Amino acid sequence: MDGVDLSAVARRVGTPCHVYSASAIRERIGALQTALHGLDAQVCYAVKANSNVAILQLMAEAGLGADIVSGGELWRCLRAGIPPHSIVFSGVGKTADEIADALDAGVARFNVESADELDLLQRMAAERNVIAHASVRINPDVDALTHSKISTGKSENKFGVGIDEARRWFGASAALTHVRLDGLHVHIGSQLLDLDPIRLALQRVATLWRELVAAGHSIGSIDVGGGLGVCYRAGHDHPISAEDYANVIRGALAGFAGRILLEPGRWLVAEAGVLLTQVIRVKQGRQRKFLVLDAAMTELVRPSLYGAWHDIVPVTREARPPQVYDIVGPVCETSDTFARDRALPECGPGDLLMIKATGAYGASMASNYNSRPLAAEVLLDRGRYAVVRRRQTFDEMVAGEQPATDWESP
């Protein structure tokens, strides 16, 4: 992978470990930028997909901005050198502290998701005597045709506001002395493999943009969100190409003179990553044969949480007869299952496998459950590798915990 022998990485760094190819990420960035050629577009990488500082640095070097959803993500981005003027702040639960940090850092724009948040932003910007740029996150009531747990654009979802409410905000925007409400934002969901819902959502946003401009408002930015899907299952998932995606944006926003923002996460990093894991043992149960790995839901929760499929393959390809396994981790939950009834070349203890397309929502969703230290992360680049997160030590794992000796009365 990226000119590096993965077995050697596994020997040096140990397993489980996340491995990412810098070349593959740069290739995706390049493909997207080529597809967007001629548009005034800024790609703001959705940090939640993979927030390792080394990955963020790679994005910064390529000129990408960031889409953040927390004070922690803001902090990481600043640390990685992503300029605040290319950071947009999304999320339904921005706290006053987070808004304060973002205003003080000078982020480009807030994607505002409720009237309460808009009021708070106005008050806090006024206190600091700064002008905050804001976009309304539109909930277009479109079914993204993806897993319900990662669908965000239906009216029943917590995200954004309806078009009527957005209209009212603009109608009352003259009263906002310290917020410039001059943008629209939409994000209907993640792992989208169908262009139709994207087109429909953008058309609804475009209709609103034209109406607002006709009413005398100025719209400087339309943020089309992220969501572009990837291939988790070879021969089964057929991702949308960057060109087709860009053409839908071009079509829907034709005539828009402002800046178009995009917030892809998964598409940039998912297929650039694999999770390296060793077989601990093969266990023949009464009904099923289990392949017990040293990776678990703590390193990759997607199969447990969404029933997501990830292709799993041996790292070294020897001809061995196929076997059907339930592929599981060591965590004490039945949901700690990567795959059921999956055919693999026969495996034994010590065999090295890779779980594919884990570069997004793998390490960034990791946990210490069962007191498992966070796994190492490794970046590959044209024949070289660098450890970009060392495996957590037990000491680091319990840092901040202490016996209850300092009792205080409130």
Provide the annotated active-site residues.
332
Interface positions, 221-240, toward ligand LLP (CB under 6 A) = 225-228
> At a CB cut-off of 8 Å and minimum separation 6, what does 235 contact?
none
Contact flag: residue 302 with ligand LLP (CB under 6 A) = yes
What φ, ψ does residue 385 adopt, rounded to 5°? -135, 150
* DSSP H/E element including 337: strand 337-345
- Nearest to ligand LLP of 9, 295 (CB atom): 295
Residue 284 backbone class (left: φ over 0; alpha: ψ -120 to 50; beta: rest): beta
The structure tokens listed for 323 are: 């076997």
Contact pick of 18, 94, 109, 187 for ligand LLP (by CB under 6 A) = 187
Phi and psi (nearest 5°) for 94? -60, 125
Looking at the Cβ atoms of 93 and 349, the one nearer to ligand LLP is 93
Closest CA to 312 of 349, 354, 341, 357: 354
- Provide the angle, in degrees to the nearest 10, between the axes of the packed helices 163-171 and 195-214: 30
Q: How far is the CB of 268 from ligand LLP (least distance, A)?
A: 8
Question: Of these, 190, 304, 337, 358, which contacts ligand LLP (CB under 6 A)?
Answer: 190
| Site for ligand LLP, residues 136 to 155, rule: CB under 6 A | 150
Q: Does 50 bind ligand LLP (CB under 6 A)?
A: no
Residue 70 or 122 with smaller CB distance to ligand LLP: 70
Q: Is residue 90 at the binding interface for ligand LLP, with CB under 6 A as the rule? A: yes
Q: Which is nearer to ligand LLP, 267 or 385 (CB)?
A: 267
Query: Is 266 near ligand LLP (CB under 6 A)?
Result: yes
Structure tokens at 65: 């901005």
Integer Cα distance of 66 and 82 in angstroms: 7
Distance, in Å, from the CA atom of 289 to the CA atom of 291, rounded to the nearest integer, reads 7
Q: How far apart are CA 259 and CA 98, in angstroms?
A: 25
Residues that bind ligand LLP (rule: CB under 6 A) add up to a total of 20
Q: Does 357 bind ligand LLP (CB under 6 A)?
A: no
CB nearer to ligand LLP: pick between 310 and 372: 310
Binding site for ligand LLP (CB under 6 A): 46, 49, 67, 90, 150, 187, 190-191, 225-228, 263-267, 302, 360-361
